[in-house]
Chains A and B, each alone.
Chain A
Amino acid sequence: MTASVDAERTVTLTVNGVPREATVPVRRLLSDALRHDLGLTGTHVGCEHGVCGACTVLVDGAPVRSCLVLAVQVEGAEVRTVEGLAHDDHQGGQVLHPVQEAFRECHALQCGFCTPGFLMTIAAGLENRDASAELTEEEVEEMVGGNLCRCTGYANIKKAVRHAAAAMKDAE
């Protein structure tokens, strides 16, 4: 069998738990496919060379820069974006993720452009750790250290990580 060499492909994937499909030129970046083909504009594009982290989404649970992945590469994958962080409260409203609550409580955002990238990397970091363990400053730095923010000076973002971790510990 010979692999097919294509200029365009139909990609099927799961985004925030919902099966989605898009037909895209194979050069389409995942960031663009999410934003423009699937209409999920919560994921932002800040540099398109993998440095700023604004476009960070979770692919099969792990934070990745969606500007450094082609849409065709996530065929069959589960992608989670900022639109999928909160969950339905089954009463017509939404229950925010602890990190979303913490960002609002700690004033961890100003213009909000970098925020989705931070939320995704922090959400993954907090969900993938033992919530009952004491949060270390190294862990905080690991969760926020790869994303750029021009507004906040980061202090309140780090505060929000601690705040969210405490909330998740209490919820244990």
Chain B
Amino acid sequence: MTTKVFGEPVRRREDARLITGKGRYLDDIGSTATLAAAFVRSPHAHARILDIDVTGALDVEGLVAIYTYEDLTGPLAEPLPVLIPHPQLTAPRTGFPLANGEVNHVGEPVVMVVATDRYLAEDAAERILVTYEELPPVVGVDAAREARHAVHAEIPDNVAARHHQETGDVEPALAAAKNTLSFTQYIERSACMPMEGKGVHARWDAADSSLRVYTSTQASTSVRAAIAAKLELSLDKVEVIAPDVGGGFGVKIVHPWPEELLVPMAAIALQAEVKWAEDRREHFVSSAHERQQRQEITVGYDDEGRITALDVHIWHDNGAYTPYGIIVPIVTATQLVGPYVIPVYRVIVESVFTNTVIVTPYRGAGRPQGCFAMERTMDRIADALGLDRAVVRERNLIQPDQFPYDHHLTFQDGRPVIYDSGDYPGLMAKLKKLVGWEEAEQLRADAGARGRMLGVGMALYVEGTGPGPYEGGHVQVLGSGKVLVSTGLTSQGQGHETAFAQIVATELGVPIEDIEVTTGDTRRFGYAVGTFASRAAVMSGNAIALAARGVRAKALRIAADVLEVDPGDLEIDEGVVQVKGTPGASIPLRTVAVLSNPLRYAFDEAARQATQFAGPADDTRPPVAEGDAPGLEHVDYYSPVRSTFASGAHAAIVEIDPATWEIDVVKYAVVHDCGNIVNPMIVEGQVQGGVAQGVGGALYERMAYDSAGQLQNASFMDFLMPYSSEIPDVVIDHQETPSPLNPLGLKGAGEAGVIPGTAAIASAIEDAVGRRITAMPISPTQLYDLMRDQDTERTAAAARRAGTGAMA
């Protein structure tokens, strides 16, 4: 038993149930009596619905109900909410829970079927005939930009938002620059792809007129509010619980998904338990994707490679609808600048509609694209000047004495982008050592002797983490000595139960074994924002720390009364309040918990014991003092003035087979700074997992739409999520520059691993082959095309290496 566990690699408490098959995921809930929902989804990217004929389904055995848009009433018949409006989001559009006359992507839900099991629900869905009139589809960011066709007829240019920020007058700054260069590049779609799809289970208690919903979500409190509003229920009659969630990575932060409204609607209408467990094919075509952008970049720089001005124009594919506003474009726009001083910066992100699945945050949420833009700009400057890519970066870094550093930009939370702390030269120095940057030429020669092309690349990032507005925590000590901790924020595998328990054990001085943590359950905590933007440890971690401090203060006050000492002379250790330096003068915290409640029926030993400490009652005062409350518990909230900024640097070494153009990442190095660390084992796990997604996004994963808007690889067979065989060994080093903004000095760690992968690997491939890489991800067949295309730009570095090129 130990209590000082902050910063220790404590083994996860979640694991005991998850490794024995006792986890409780969404589809584990319910019984064989639970009804199952399935959906008829649009087979077309863009079409008008002319007719829905359900007669063929009516004699399917086990059919219970069929719902179309016609069956939706009240707020449910209105478009789904735009969660995060923004003044620059001038043409927001959202779909309906079930399509209302028009479909805008393959997979959009048109009809919901409820039957006695999922097999039968699919049987019925298959027999429903929907007649469509096809409309011309808009597929891909370039088609949206050209706007020969419109996704939404009333938005002929397909532009949902034109997000614009600038820190100065960029045109004269570019005109005055010693050197400039311009380029265009692309990054394509991938997706979160958690191993567990989405899912909803709803149960209506008719006698109590209350609804309990389980949903595989990253934001249970908000789903609750959405259900209450859309189904016109009192908030207190709706409870929403995120059970064990099999991964999220962003897709489960969107809410309400149509199914989160429709399944409860059916449960109420049918007075029965109803469940929908999304299957993999549905997940591909009806959940969310991310990442596709076209980026046009112009940079001005001096002869030393210092940037003087940066002008970026991005077209961002937001898919068919904008339920999540323009968060991803804003993140790209504001996080693009990374760890660098950019004297004058202008960014325009045009968020455009396409007839494809909606785009909402996927781990990194626009940052991988911003990093790709900035870091490839650094590579281009280095190439043009004939400088080491690391040197150019070093010359542009914000220095440690420049914090807090104000970029004069406005972040996703509406707050200024002011970096709180960091040491970017420190990251760089560690990275070069870790990857062996200075030995790259030797490695290249060695690989060449083996008939392989070797290249090395690097990428740095700064990541705004832990945005507000708030999270809360509740800590309660029971008479049994058990400590209950809850926060409304949800978990999808990040080990929150363990990390939060570590924080409480340390703050309160209780054995971690006595602590029980609940997350994402509105029965326990009603106010929360959700798990996204690397915010759980920063937001709920600090809120829970504050709540624990509140409990501690109350415990010391009560104990001081009993022990007749000053609270300042007390400490709590191993669950016992004691007078510092006076062994024996102590009282167990559990007894303090009993004493905190003047109603003390002797149900148990703890209450009986507590009576020995009960002092004579003061007849002149109420049993519960004014301003006090019974119980040893405290609720507190953490609301940051602005985000905290984590940082890191990655490097990749690739080897390419010049016969087959297969690309191997042979080494991947990470230096990571997320401030103080609650649990280094968990943080390293987050980094490792993020890197794997980064490698996947750089080399394997691509949502392959054809020109008709059909997703051609909607299966794990063809969407190439990496197996272990595709993931390189990752070497990790840490740096810790605590955040001055929050009590625990934390910065977020969840997304970091994925951010620089695409940029670093593109740089490494370019370094290996000497040809410009302008689109990612890249596969061997694409690299082959690039290498044999006479028009592919050669890098100046390659020419210099071959001894054929003059200085550019």
Give the B-binding residues of A (Cβ under 8 A). Answer: 25, 27-28, 35-37, 40-49, 51-52, 54, 81-83, 85-86, 94, 96, 100, 103-105, 107, 109-116, 119, 141, 144-158
Contact = CB atoms under 8 A, between A and B. Distances in A.
Given A51-B717, A104-B12, A112 B724 contact: no
Contact of A155 (B493, B682, B688): B688
B12 A107 contact: yes
Given A44-B246, A104-B19, A111-B244, 17 more contacts: A51-B716, A54-B195, A82-B21, A83-B20, A85-B20, A94-B20, A104-B16, A109-B18, A115-B18, A116-B21, A145-B724, A147-B723, A150-B192, A150-B247, A150-B249, A153-B690, A153-B753
Contacts of A83: 20-21
B492 A111 contact: yes
Interface of B: 11-12, 14-16, 18-25, 27-28, 32, 117, 119, 192-196, 244-247, 249, 279-280, 492-495, 681-682, 684-685, 688-693, 715-717, 721, 723-725, 727, 729-730, 753
Name B's interface SS: loop
A25 to B, nearest CB: 7
Contacts of A151: 195, 247, 493, 685, 689
Nearest to A157: B724
Contacts of B24: 41
A103 B15 contact: yes
Contact of B724 (A44, A51, A94, A141): A141
Contact of A153 (B14, B117, B493, B692): B692
B693 A150 contact: yes
Given A36-B32, A153-B692, A81 B21 contact: yes
Nearest to A85: B20
Given A47-B715, A48-B279, A107-B12, A42 B493 contact: no
B725 A44 contact: no
28 contacts: A37-B32, A40-B21, A44-B195, A46-B196, A47-B280, A47-B715, A48-B279, A48-B280, A51-B717, A52-B195, A82-B19, A85-B20, A85-B21, A86-B20, A103-B15, A104-B19, A107-B12, A113-B194, A114-B195, A115-B19, A145-B724, A146-B723, A148-B721, A149-B195, A152-B685, A153-B692, A153-B693, A157-B724
Nearest to A103: B19
A149 B691 CA distance: 13
Pick the most buried of B27, B716, B721, B724: most chain A CB atoms within 10 A of its CB.
B724
Contacts of A45: 27
Contacts of B249: 150
A124 to B, nearest CB: 16
Contacts of A114: 195, 246
B279 A42 contact: no
Given A44-B246, A52-B195, A154 B19 contact: no
Contacts of B494: 110
A112 B182 CA distance: 46
A153 B363 CA distance: 14
Contacts of B22: 42
A100 B19 contact: yes
Contacts of B27: 35, 41, 45
